[in-house]
Amino acid sequence: MTNAEKGMIIAFFYCLGSILQVARLIGSPWSTVKSFLTHATERQSLENLLRSSRPRILIPQQCRVIVQAAKS
């Protein structure tokens, strides 16, 4: 969901006051709109939370050494 869509959902919700009407207007499921509004009000932000990634096995220097060795 883009930031523009997120802003539209919030604006429509404050104007219309109904999650069901907002969901029909933007063409998204009711549960999606409800969960977005819940998360947005809890976080006070439109940004998504950062997600943890898989821990690296090698440090970047070790990766470069391996790639250089493979190229030669």
CA atoms within 13 A of residue 66's CA, in its CB half-sphere:
7
The confidence band for 34, taking pLDDT boundaries of 50, 70 and 90, is: very high
Token pair of 31 as six digits: 């549960």
> How sure is the predictor about 15, in pLDDT bands with cuts at 50, 70 and 90?
very high
Rg (CA), the chain: 21
- Within 10 Å of residue 7's Cβ, how many Cβ atoms? 11
Q: What is the domain partition of the chain in residue ranges? A: 1-48
pLDDT band (50, 70, 90) for residue 35: very high
pLDDT of residue 51: 74
Q: What is the mean pLDDT of the chain?
A: 88
Q: 26, 69 in Cβ contact below 8 A?
A: no
Indicate whether this model's pTM tops 0.85: no
